[in-house]
Amino acid sequence: MDQALRSKLDRITNILFAGGVNNPVTYIEQLSYLIFLKLLDERESDIQRERKMMGDAARSRSLFPEQASRYRWTEWRFKSGNELRAFLRDEVFPYMASLVQEEPQVAIYFQDARLEVDDANVLKQVVDELDSIQFGKLGTDVKGDIYEYLLQYLATQEGALLGQFRTPRQVRLAMVEMLNPDLGDTIFDPACGTGGFLIDSVEYILAKYSDRIYETPIYGEEWLEKKGLTLEQARTQMPRLQTWRKGAGEKIPDWELLERSIFGIEVSRQMMRISMMNLVLHGIRNAHVKRANALSEMGGLTDEDLRRRYRVILSNPPFAGVLPKESIRKDLPTQSKKSELLFLGVVMESLAPGGRAAVIVPEGLLFGSSTGHVELRRKLCEDFELLAVISLTSGVFKPYAGVKTAILIFRKPVAEQKRTDLAKVWFYEVKNDGFDPDKIIGGGRVQTPEKNDLPSMLQKWAEFKGTGFVTPPGIETGTLLPSDAPEPQSWWASTATIADNDFNLGAGRYKPRVAEATPEDDPIDLIRKTLGNEQAISSDLEKLLADLENAQ
């Protein structure tokens, strides 16, 4: 995304914020409506060109037939003032919501949609700015970058409480790489928020099926521009720099297969819309994203939703909250009412045989002593293949949360079988993730590319995977390391050892200890010195006692 486009987006943001649309979620939602309408208009132009060339053989159906053409962007963009606002609010939005049969995804997007830009002049300015952007001429990667650029406002001071909807990019990218999704894998997030995991999975697959692949730092391309460095120069200066690969996916043989493979559930209607638009701008128009509560039988899930199983599940579900027992799904492998246990249960229940999952959990879930905690961990260790517990730094979700978290990586066995006691679980401690854990500037953490353990963690994961997940990297739990050994970051424990510890999965429980250094002083000298100190103390006490007796 070039500087000119960034400047245009900044102008749109400033216009809306100055016009009173300064709640980050509302701002992104309102902008999403307008972008969607512009995209639909450009798509209609493509359909009309196809119909002129192919006549009745054209496959695509018009979105705005006959009298409905007046709802196209190109037909109403010249309106202004209250006429523009009223036409959008009272006619365009209701028409889009009515396309239940013709375009169900569009209808879902505009269901209960409200235009909340009250100032008609502000609305006109935004429409004019968006009208100058030809989205159809932008690559999928650029359109995706546009939305990522807009989503940064969820982390502003005004939107700090909304950060719960976003998982830091560096963590998402690492989790996606560990699961290695591929074309044909069904990919699911039961609490998808803004769609970050789904987008990153799509981009990961696109890079696999691209002739031209380029890498960009986790901080974005503009970060390199500001530093005046090429990626190669930055890597030389900062060996721990984390990047991700991008490509157009021109070698994907069946784009519809990719679109049909993306599934997400989100309880917030606003977040569901944001997630859908995020996917649309990344080229995925027909993903299965819906508004529902993944934990509840009364939350909007269909029988098909409950029966569906997925090959890849990535999620950072909400940690807080307790559901009434009557509302909780009966098919989950836990009787708990705590949302963090219920969401982990959803992931376990939704995984297809041979499928793999990466889910972020609060650290308390790893060692909680309640019956619900212990029983769910037992099922995870015995009925699934628990591969890794990645302990994350406590600052990873700042500035909007300081909770200590971990990533659980596990697979569901293809056949009904129990894991053997010889199976091993890998533990890794992430102390740095490329951002300062304490410094917050401009609503975000300060970048520290020279301090990032995630690339090293991914390298060790690749080694573990190369052994068929039989031989974890690092040191066995219980090992006493020499006093001059560095503190370990990578270690492992057998399933039998974990079972003996009440299925406690806390990384620190199994971390090998470093022996204390042997004192270099002569023990005889130490004893003499100690006796001397004791004699001096005794003499001082006798003197104090004598002074007290004389004072009486």
Retrieve residue 92's tokens: 């365009």
Using CA atoms, how far apart are residues 474 and 346, in angstroms rounded to an integer? 31
- State the average pLDDT over residues 55-61: 55
Please check whether residue 180 lies inside any domain of the structure. no
> What are the pLDDT digits (tens) for 401-434?
778 999 999 999 987 655 555 789 999 999 999 9
Same domain? For 394 and 407 the reply is yes
CB 332 within 8 A of CB 299: no
Q: State how far the alpha carbon of 422 is from the alpha carbons of 60, 143, 182, 494, in Å.
A: 57, 48, 30, 6
Strands 405-411 and 385-391, by their bridges, are antiparallel
Taking the CA of residue 151 as centre, how many other CA atoms within 13 Å lie in the half-sphere pointing to its CB?
Answer: 26
- Residue 51 confidence (pLDDT) above 80: no
**Same domain flag for 439 and 538:** no
Q: What was the pLDDT predicted at 417?
A: 57
Tokens of 196: 């970050």
Which residues are bridge partners to 480 per DSSP?
513
Q: What is the mean pLDDT of residues 282-308?
A: 90
Segment 132-154 shows an average pLDDT of 73
Say yes or no: 134 and 65 in one domain.
yes
Domain count, the chain: 3
Measure the CA–CA gap between 461 and 453, rounded to whole angstroms. 12
The DSSP-derived string for 339-378 is HHHHHHHHHHHHEEEEEEEEEEEETHHHH--SHHHHHHHH
DSSP-derived letter for residue 156 is: S
pLDDT at 161: 44
Q: Which residue from 296, 503, 299, 267 is spatially nearest to 381, judged by alpha carbons?
A: 503
396 and 479 within one domain: yes
Q: What is the dihedral of CA 231, 234, 236, 238, to 10 degrees?
A: -130
Q: Which helix (H) or strand (E) holds 446?
A: strand 444-452
Q: What does the pLDDT read at residue 6?
A: 82
- Both 470 and 510 in one domain: the answer is yes
Domain range enclosing 103: 3-138
203: number of Cβ within 10 Å: 22
pLDDT at 354 over 90: yes
Most confident of 317-326, 400-409, 480-489: 480-489
Q: What pLDDT shows up at residue 158?
A: 47
Which pLDDT belongs to residue 101? 84
Q: Which residue has the tokens 């009412």?
A: 337
Average pLDDT over residues 531-551: 85
Residue 437 shares a structural domain with residue 551? no
As a whole number of angstroms, the distance between CA 30 and CA 270 comes to 10
Distance CA 539, CA 78 (A): 99
More confident residue, 378 or 147: 378
Chain mean pLDDT for the chain: 88
Start-to-end CA span in the chain (Å): 89
Whether residue 503 sits in one domain with residue 546: no
Please give the single-letter amino acid code of residue 507: A
C-alpha angle with apex 483: 481 to 489, nearest 5 degrees? 50
How many residues can be counted in the chain?
552
CATH (domain of 121) = 1.20.1260.30
Instruction: Supply angle C-alpha 189, 186, 38, rounded to 5.
Output: 70
Distances from the Cα of 231 to the Cα of 234, 373, 374, 453, angstroms: 5, 45, 46, 19
Instruction: Specify if 145 maps to a domain.
Output: no
331 assigned to some structural domain: no
Number of other CB atoms surrounding residue 408 within 10 Å: 23
The pLDDT score that the predictor gives to residue 416 is 63
DSSP track, 502-533: TT---GGGGPPEEPPPPP-S-HHHHHHHHHHH
Which token pair is 9?
A: 């987006």
**Cβ pair 432, 453 in contact under 8 A:** yes
The two three-digit tokens of residue 435, written as one number: 């951002």
Return d(Cα 314, Cα 319) in angstroms, integer: 15
CA distance 219 to 53: 44
* Gap between the Cα atoms of 11 and 28, Å rounded: 14
Using DSSP, state whether 430 is helix, strand or coil: coil
| Amino acid present at 8 | K
User: What does 71-134 look like in DSSP terms, one character per residue?
Assistant: GSHHHHTT--HHHHHHHIIIIIHHHHHT-TTT-HHHHHHHTT-------HHHHHHHHHHHHT--
Residue 144 domain-assigned (yes or no) = no
Report the share of the chain in percent with pLDDT over 70: 92
Residue 478 to residue 338: CA distance in whole angstroms: 33
Domain shared by 509 and 544, yes or no: no
pLDDT tens for residues 68-84?
Answer: 899 999 999 999 999 99
Residue 327 pLDDT class (50, 70, 90 cuts): confident
Q: What is the mean pLDDT of residues 343-365?
A: 96
Query: Are residues 539 and 505 located together in one domain of the fold?
Result: no
Q: Are residues 406 and 535 in the same domain?
A: no
Secondary structure (3-state) at 48:
helix
> Taking residues 206-229, what's their average pLDDT?
89
Is 540 found in the same domain as 402? no
Regarding whether 484 and 402 lie in a shared domain, the answer is yes
Per-residue pLDDT at 162 exceeds 60:
no
Q: Which residue has the higher pLDDT, 247 or 308?
A: 308
Mean pLDDT score, 321-346: 89
256 occurs within a structural domain: no
Residue 316 tokens, joined: 């950072």
Residue 304 exposure: Cα atoms within 13 Å on the Cβ side: 3
pLDDT band at 26 (very low <50, low <70, confident <90, very high): confident
pLDDT for 50 equals: 66
Summarised one tens digit per residue, pLDDT across range 496-523 is 999 999 999 999 999 999 988 776 677 7
Q: Judge whether 515 and 482 are in contact, CB under 8 Å.
A: yes
> Is 50 exceeded by the pLDDT of residue 160?
no
The answer to whether residues 100 and 56 touch, using CB atoms and an 8 Å cutoff, is no
CATH number at residue 394: 3.40.50.150
Q: How confident is the model at residue 114 (pLDDT cuts 50, 70, 90)?
A: very high
- Asked if pLDDT for residue 469 goes beyond 70, the answer is yes
The reply to whether 308 falls in a domain is no
Q: With 60 as the cut, is the pLDDT of residue 56 above it?
A: no
Cα–Cα distance, 312 to 179 (Å, whole number): 7
Task: Flag whether 216 is in a domain.
Answer: no
Measured distance CA(420)–CA(496) in Å, rounded: 8
The answer as to whether 177 is a domain residue is: no
Which residue has tokens 């401009």? Answer: 442
